[in-house]
Structure 1
Amino acid sequence: MNTLQFALILSLGWLALISPDVHISTAMAAEKSAPPNILFIFSDDLAYQAISAYGDERKLLETPHIDRVAKEGIRFDRCVVTNSICGPCRATILTGKYSHKNGFYNNSNSRFDSTQTTFPKLFKSQGYSTALIGKWHLVSEPTGFDHWEILPGQGIYYNPPMIANGQKVQRQGYVTDIITDRSIDWLKNRDKSKPFLLMAQHKAPHREWSPALRHLGFNKDKPFAEPATLFDQYKDRAQAVVDHDMGIDRTFTKLDAKFVPPPGINSTQLEEWNKYYLPRNNAFEAAHLQGQDLVRWRYHRYMHDYLACVKAVDESVGRLLQTLDEEGLAENTLVVVTSDQGFYLGEHGWFDKRWIFEESLRTPLLARWPAAIPAGRTNGQIVSLLDIAQTFLDVARIEAPADMQGASLLPLLKGDTPADWRKSLYYRYYEYPSPHRVKPHYGVVTDRYKLVHYEGTGEGEWELLDRQVDPQEVKSFHNDPAYAQTMTELKDEIRSLQKVVDDQTPPPAKAYGNAPLEWSPFGPLK
Structure 2
Amino acid sequence: MLRKIILRSFIVLSILILTLLSCKNGKVDTPQKKLSAKPNILFIMSDDHAYQAISAYSDKLIKTPNIDRIAKEGILFTNASVTNSICAPSRATILTGKHTHINGKIDNIMPFDTTQVTLPQLFQKAGYATAMFGKLHFGNNPKGVDDFMILPGQGSYINPKFITQKGDTTITGYVTDIITDLTLDWLDKKRDKEKPFMMMYLHKAPHRAWWPSPEKFKEYSQKNIPEPATLFDDYSNRGQAAKSAEMNIRDQLLSYDNKVLPQAIEEIGLPIADSRNKLYFEKADFARLNPKQKSLYQPTLDAIAEDFKTHWPTMSEEEKMRWQYQRYMQDYLACIASVDENVGRVLNYLDDSGLAENTMVIYTSDQGFYLGEHGWFDKRFIYNESFKTPLLIRWPNQIKAGITNDEMVQNLDFAQTFLEAAQIEIPSDMQGESLMPLLKGNTAAWHREAVYYHYYEYPAVHMVKRHYGIVTKAYKLVHFYYDVDEWELYDRKKDPQEMKNVYEDPAYASVVANLHKKLNELRLKYKDSPELDKKFIDLSKPVN
Aligned match for 1:40, one of 27, 38, 43? 43
* CA distance 1:31–1:366, shift in 2 (3 Å): farther
Count of equivalent residues: 504
* CA distance 1:283–1:128, shift in 2 (3 Å): same
Aligned match for 1:279, one of 272, 293, 303? 303
Does 2:419 match 1:393?
yes
Q: Distance in 2 between matches of 1:403 and 1:483?
A: 36
Residue 247 (structure 1) aligns with? 248
Residue 259 (structure 2) aligns with? 258
Deviates most, 449-458 or 323-332: 449-458
Residue 114 (structure 1) aligns with? 114
CA deviation map 1:437-465 (0-9, x unaligned): 0000000000011100001247x001101
CA deviation map 1:362-383 (0-9, x unaligned): 0000011113111111111111
CA deviation map 1:42-68 (0-9, x unaligned): 100000111001125xx1110010011
8 Å Cα contact 2:361-2:394 kept in structure 1: yes
8 Å Cα contact 1:213-1:272 kept in structure 2: yes
Give how far 1:419 is off.
Answer: 3.4
Give how far 1:78 is off.
Answer: 0.7
Query: Percent identity, aligned pairs only?
Result: 51
Does 2:405 match 1:402?
no
Give how far 1:222 is off.
Answer: 3.1
Give runs of aligned pairs for residues 50-449 of structure 1, distance below 5 A: 50-56=53-59, 59-107=60-108, 109-189=109-189, 190-219=191-220, 221-260=222-261, 261=281, 262-263=285-286, 264-287=288-311, 288=313, 289-449=315-475
Q: Select the structure that is richer in helix.
A: 2
* CA distance 1:125–1:223, shift in 2 (3 Å): same
8 Å Cα contact 1:440-1:512 kept in structure 2: no
* CA distance 1:500–1:3, shift in 2 (3 Å): farther
User: Which SS does the other structure have where 1:169 is aligned?
Assistant: strand
8 Å Cα contact 2:489-2:501 kept in structure 1: yes
* CA distance 1:245–1:510, shift in 2 (3 Å): farther
* CA distance 1:509–1:180, shift in 2 (3 Å): farther
Give how far 1:323 is off.
Answer: 1.1
Q: Distance in 2 between matches of 1:7 and 1:116?
A: 55
User: Which SS does the other structure have where 2:183 is aligned?
Assistant: helix
User: Which SS does the other structure have where 1:54 is aligned?
Assistant: coil
* CA distance 1:358–1:31, shift in 2 (3 Å): farther
RMSD: 2.5
Q: Distance in 2 between matches of 1:512 and 1:254?
A: 33
Counterpart amino acid of residue 280 in structure 1:
I
Counterpart amino acid of residue 300 in structure 2:
Y
Residue 514 (structure 2) aligns with? 489
User: Which SS does the other structure have where 2:445 is aligned?
Assistant: coil
Q: Distance in 2 between matches of 1:345 and 1:5?
A: 68
Counterpart amino acid of residue 133 in structure 2:
I
8 Å Cα contact 1:113-1:140 kept in structure 2: no
8 Å Cα contact 2:438-2:446 kept in structure 1: no
Aligned match for 1:464, one of 484, 489, 512? 489
* CA distance 1:469–1:513, shift in 2 (3 Å): farther
Give how far 1:286 is off.
Answer: 2.4
Q: Distance in 1 between matches of 2:138 and 2:145?
A: 15
User: Which SS does the other structure have where 2:443 is aligned?
Assistant: coil
Residue 499 (structure 2) aligns with? 474
* CA distance 1:10–1:502, shift in 2 (3 Å): same
Residue 24 (structure 1) aligns with? none
User: Which SS does the other structure have where 2:250 is aligned?
Assistant: coil
8 Å Cα contact 1:424-1:444 kept in structure 2: yes
* CA distance 1:9–1:208, shift in 2 (3 Å): same
Give how far 1:153 is off.
Answer: 0.5
Q: Distance in 1 between matches of 2:94 and 2:353?
A: 28
* CA distance 1:14–1:155, shift in 2 (3 Å): closer
Query: Scaled by the length of structure 2, what TM-score is found?
Result: 0.88
Counterpart amino acid of residue 482 in structure 1:
A
CA deviation map 1:400-420 (0-9, x unaligned): 000100011112111112434
* CA distance 1:118–1:515, shift in 2 (3 Å): closer
Deviates most, 126-135 or 418-427: 418-427
User: Which SS does the other structure have where 1:271 is aligned?
Assistant: helix
CA deviation map 1:270-306 (0-9, x unaligned): 2221201212222212211231100000000011100
Counterpart amino acid of residue 265 in structure 1:
L
* CA distance 1:350–1:193, shift in 2 (3 Å): same
Query: Scaled by the length of structure 1, what TM-score is found?
Result: 0.91
8 Å Cα contact 1:342-1:361 kept in structure 2: yes
Give how far 1:149 is off.
Answer: 0.5
8 Å Cα contact 2:129-2:146 kept in structure 1: yes
* CA distance 1:273–1:457, shift in 2 (3 Å): closer
CA deviation map 1:90-136 (0-9, x unaligned): 000000000011110101x2222333111110100011000000001
Give how far 1:468 is off.
Answer: 1.1
Residue 23 (structure 1) aligns with? none
